[in-house]
Amino acid sequence: MEKATNILMCPGNLLQYPKDYRNINVWMKEKHTIDYALVQMELEGVCKYIEFCNAHISCINHQADLPDMFFVRNAGLVLPSHGDSEKKQVILASFKHRERQDEQKFYRQWFEQNGFEVIVLPMGVTFEGGGEAIFCGNQLFFGHGFRAPKDTLTHLQYALDEARMEADIIPLKLVDERFYHLDTAFMPISGDGVDTKDALVYYPGAFDKESLTVISALPINKIEVTEADACAFGCNLLAIGNNIIMAKGTRKLSHELKARGFIVYEADMAEIKKGGGSVYCMTLNI
């Protein structure tokens, strides 16, 4: 039987940024024009698709003064289950910007209360969870440059050792400030292997030359995303088996995914985008 997909979300404060909250990414320039009723509708749309794909949604309580908790992907890096641990495991995030630092304790509490072994990085190490590190088989891709520095890699390696998990960590350097977290520009997808093949969706313009060389050598089908589709947050998609939930508005990407056998659900994300994220950012596979 197929394993059920469990998704954590943080509905609630609907991106109500206080007046003095800085723009910690370039998309947030428009954050004071956010229409909360529309955010609510967009959120409901995404939830509907997730449930339609037979995934289960759990919620973490929002905190009124921490609007970016909406983007719960950053809570931590949930490790895939592996033989050496009976418990679910997570490497807890530790945020760069003051605005998000207080989120950590609420995530920690939630993970602990929900049966996770929580691995905490040393003080002073920046790491923004599932937004910056993405597993693909036994490889862990780590995007650095805007939030986490490259040095975080060493600490991720220690954390994986502590979790008794083997994986090769592959650093990728982000160079375009619009794509400040790895998940805004790079998304490996594994379909069910029947109608679809594994695919890697990525926007080349987000990476430096060396990283592009690493990416092109990967033995996986690649889909290069155009700048326009990347700016529509096309890469920030949530895959559930052969289903893909993504932002409406990509010109080529959704067609390309459909042509490869994926079932694509396109959600309105125009308001949520003003916080600097999309479907993948607002969900966390647990």
Q: Which residues are catalytic?
A: 181, 281
- Whose Cβ is closer to ligand ARG: residue 140's or residue 242's? 140
Residue spans of alpha helices (H) in the chain? 36-52, 98-101, 103-113, 152-162, 209-216, 227-231, 253-259
Q: Tell me the two tokens of residue 12.
A: 């609630």
- Whose Cβ is closer to ligand ARG: residue 9's or residue 242's? 9
Residue 187 found at the interface with ligand ARG (CB under 6 A):
no
Please state the closest distance from residue 70 (CB atom) to ligand ARG, in A.
8
- Whose Cβ is closer to ligand ARG: residue 146's or residue 262's? 146
Q: Which stretch binds ligand ARG (CB under 6 A): 67-75, 78-86, 161-169, 210-218?
A: 67-75
∠ CA 240-12-64, nearest 5°, is: 135
Distance CA 279, CA 233 (A): 9
Closest to 119 in 3D by CA, of 76, 153, 151: 76
Residue 74 found at the interface with ligand ARG (CB under 6 A):
yes
Please state the closest distance from residue 31 (CB atom) to ligand ARG, in A.
8
Q: Which stretch binds ligand ARG (CB under 6 A): 33-41, 83-91, 115-123, 177-185?
A: 177-185
277, 279, 283, 286: residue in contact with ligand ARG (rule CB under 6 A): 277
- Whose Cβ is closer to ligand ARG: residue 25's or residue 243's? 25
Residue 183 found at the interface with ligand ARG (CB under 6 A):
yes
178, 181, 273, 274: residue in contact with ligand ARG (rule CB under 6 A): 181
Closest to 230 in 3D by CA, of 246, 211, 243: 246
Q: Do the Cβ atoms of 15 and 34 come closer than 8 Å?
A: yes
* H/E stretch holding 29: none
Q: Which stretch binds ligand ARG (CB under 6 A): 56-64, 188-196, 242-250, 274-282?
A: 274-282
Q: Do the Cβ atoms of 197 and 221 come closer than 8 Å?
A: yes
Site for ligand ARG in 101-140 (CB under 6 A): 131
DSSP percent split of the chain into helix, strand, coil, nearest 5: 30, 25, 45
Q: What is the size of the binding site for ligand ARG (CB under 6 A)?
A: 15
Residue 242 found at the interface with ligand ARG (CB under 6 A):
no
Q: Which stretch binds ligand ARG (CB under 6 A): 46-54, 58-66, 157-165, 276-284?
A: 276-284
∠ CA 140-284-102, nearest 5°, is: 100
Distance CA 263, CA 281 (A): 20
Please state the closest distance from residue 83 (CB atom) to ligand ARG, in A.
29
Strands 284-285, 6-9: parallel, antiparallel or unpaired by DSSP? antiparallel
Residue 276 found at the interface with ligand ARG (CB under 6 A):
yes
Binding residues for ligand ARG, per CB under 6 A? 24-25, 68, 71, 73-74, 100, 131, 181, 183-184, 275-277, 281
